[in-house]
Amino acid sequence: MAGALGRAEASEEAIVRLMLGAAPPKPAQRSGDVKTTGTPLLELRAVDLIDEQSGIGLKQVNLAVYPGEIVGVAGVSGNGQSELGDVALGLRPLDGGAVHLLGMDATTWGTQHRLRAGLAYIPEDPIRLGAVPGMNVVENMILGEQDKFARRGGFAIDWPRALQRCGELLNTTFITTPP
C-alpha cells in the first residue's frame, strides 16, 4: 500500500490508516470485572532489551497483568512482541529493568521456575514455537512437565496418567487436534 499526505493531513490516525489500509484499532479497555489494585501477577518494570542483530529491542517497557486478565500483544512485525514474550518467560536476559511474578523479583529466575510459579504463554506461532514436530499431542503436552508424570525414579513416564491429563486438557480448553 502506498500513499501521500500533506503535512497538515499527516495525523497519527491518517498515517496508521495508510499503513494498515483501515482505521486504527481502538485502544484496549480493561474489563469491568478486573481489579487493578494490589499486586500484579506479572509486572515488567522499565525493561530494556537490546537485540544483537538489529540493535533495536525493548526500551523502558512497563506492563502489569492483574488477576483475571488475559493480555494479548499485537503490532507490526518487528516491533518487539516476540521480545516481550521472551523477557516475560526468561528466555532472554534483560539489559535493564526487572520482571516480577507474584510480587517477587523474578528477573534472575529461569524459564522453568517462572512456569512453575504459574506463568503461561501462547507464542505467536504455537505450532512452530510451541510443539515438537514428530511428537504426538500427549508427548508435546507433557514437555517441561515430565517430572509430574515420572515413575521408576524419573527414568520412565506414566503414559496412562499423561494420556488422562491430556484428555482433561483437551476437554476443558480451546485446544483442537487433527482428526
Condensed to tens digits (0 to 9), the pLDDT of residues 93-117 reads 999 999 999 999 999 999 989 988 8
Among 24-38, 45-59, 91-105, 117-131, which range has the highest average pLDDT? 91-105
> Does residue 118 carry a pLDDT above 80?
yes
Specify if 15 maps to a domain: no
Specify if 8 maps to a domain: no
Give per-residue pLDDT as tens, 139-158.
988 887 888 899 888 789 99
Specify if 88 maps to a domain: yes
Specify if 19 maps to a domain: no
Domain count for the chain? 2
Which three three-digit cell numbers place residue 128? 512452530
> Does residue 75 carry a pLDDT above 80?
no
Residues 40, 103, single domain; the answer is: yes
Which three three-digit cell numbers place residue 51? 537485540
Nearest-5° Cα angle at 85, 82 to 90: 125
Residue 43 sits in a domain of what CATH number?
3.40.50.300
Specify if 156 maps to a domain: yes
Distance CA 169, CA 148 (A): 15
Distance CA 79, CA 67 (A): 26
Residues 53, 106, single domain; the answer is: yes
Paired with 171 in beta bridges are none
Q: Per-residue confidence at 3, pLDDT binned at 50, 70, 90?
A: confident
Q: Per-residue confidence at 48, pLDDT binned at 50, 70, 90?
A: very high
Residues 109, 51, single domain; the answer is: yes
> Does residue 55 carry a pLDDT above 60?
yes
Distance CA 73, CA 53 (A): 22
Residues 137, 109, single domain; the answer is: no
Q: State residue 36's pLDDT score.
A: 67
Which three three-digit cell numbers place residue 177? 487436534
> Does residue 25 carry a pLDDT above 70?
no
Q: Per-residue confidence at 30, pLDDT binned at 50, 70, 90?
A: low
Specify if 28 maps to a domain: no
Using CA atoms of 144, 116, 92, 141 in order, give the dihedral in degrees to the nearest 10: 30
Distance CA 19, CA 122 (A): 27
The residue range of the domain holding 83 is 35-119
What is the amino acid identity at position 173? T
Specify if 166 maps to a domain: yes
Between residues 30 and 58, the one the model is more confident about? 58
Specify if 108 maps to a domain: yes
Residues 147, 85, single domain; the answer is: no
Distance CA 4, CA 142 (A): 52
Residues 97, 137, single domain; the answer is: no
Which three three-digit cell numbers place residue 125? 506461532
> Does residue 34 carry a pLDDT above 70?
no
Residues 103, 179, single domain; the answer is: no
